[in-house]
Structure 1
Amino acid sequence: MPRKPSPDARERILETATRLFNSYGVHAVGMQQIIDECGCGKNLLYSQFPSKDDLVVAYLRRCSGDWDDIVAGAAAAAGSPERHLVELVREVGTRVNEPGTRGCPLRTTFAEFPDREHPAHRVSLDHFMRVRAQLRELAAETAAPDPERLADRIMFIIDGLYTNGPIFGGEGAKVAVAFAEDVVRTETSAEPVESR
């Protein structure tokens, strides 16, 4: 009679894969490396994740859930929708400067899987569309006459942090927060601002 996997087997495998994928990238990590690092058997890994694509999708969904933690952390520090947008930038700035961070896993995986039909590409794209929708909802609660423009500008600041934050460190995060404050102030002012 085959042994039943422990209830935490899937989580242990996913935790190991997350650590390895975050450190080296998805393509650089093979299933055997995950098996070796996790200390699980091949049969166990494949019973939980029938293919590497399944494991990558689970990893990306986990990473997408981290964004919800960022939104919650920013909401706790904000007193207004305008401040919430700025606090999102601050929270991302803090996270991208944690030791061992290589930027946004969803962005790097999106780049590793350019085929639009690949499940990893689709999960990453869905995540970015969800983030954009959340930012637009939040911006719609501000006094901005064009909340979509405000949201898109904040999203580009966040994208810049994920790309350059680990390079420029804490100083880069401070610049990004100041830039977000300027953008929110400008976009929510009573005076119309012309696009260039």
Structure 2
Amino acid sequence: MPTPDARERILGTATRLFDRHGVHAVGLQRIIDECGCGKNLLYMCFASKDDLVVAYLRRCATRWDALLDGAKAAADIPERQLVELVRAAGVRATEPGARGCALRATLAEFPEWRHPAHRVAVEYLVRARAQLRDLAAETSAADPERLAARVLLIIDGLYANGPIFGDDAAKAAVAFAQDVVEAETSAEPAKGR
């Protein structure tokens, strides 16, 4: 029988390996070897690699929730919270060994829309956008949907460029977010938007 921490131990090992190498590059045998568990134990905790990948993605989604909660706690008004969220994403995207957003990367690895990993990644991105839209709706933005979409695009760019350009990408993203939030929440909207 598996110990109560067996599932967590296996998921922790898989998370570390998937984060570092990607999902397709890591086989179950490598997880078994590095975790020090048997194949039977792994399959008692996770019926298939797909089940393990879905659990990994759900864990990754909690990282976003923590980032969002931290941004809300770090700033006093929604406009600053949006910028703080970009700042926090920049810290995460430029950490040593960062490979961007695990959910976005996994979405690219599993383009088939029926695959459970693809569905979980899409659910996460839709939920993240809705959370940004809710936060943007608390600002004075005339079009909270547009503000949320623009902030999400900045964060997407950070996850793509942060691992390559480091602090320069993070600083540029924060400055861009400040400009976007200011422009979207100004009293008089600019023409052509």
Which residue number corresponds to residue 89 of structure 1?
86
The letter of the residue matching 1:96 is A
Which residue number corresponds to residue 194 of structure 1?
191
2:10 equivalent to 1:9: no
The letter of the residue matching 2:179 is D
2:83 equivalent to 1:100: no
Which residue number corresponds to residue 117 of structure 1?
114
Distance 2:43 2:181 in 1: 48
Distance 1:153 1:180 in 2: 8
2:189 equivalent to 1:171: no
Shift in Å, 1:9: 0.1
Shift in Å, 1:195: 3.5
- Percent identical across equivalent pairs? 69
Task: Give the counterpart of 1:64 among 43, 56, 61.
Answer: 61
Shift in Å, 1:123: 0.2
1:19-98 mapped onto 2 (5 Å cutoff): 19-98=16-95
Query: For the aligned residues, what is the CA RMSD?
Result: 0.8
Normalising by structure 2, we get a TM-score of 0.98
Normalising by structure 1, we get a TM-score of 0.97
Which residue number corresponds to residue 160 of structure 1?
157
Unaligned runs of 5+ in 1: none
Larger displacement relative to structure 2 (166-175 or 113-122) = 166-175
Shift in Å, 1:13: 0.1
Shift in Å, 1:77: 1.1
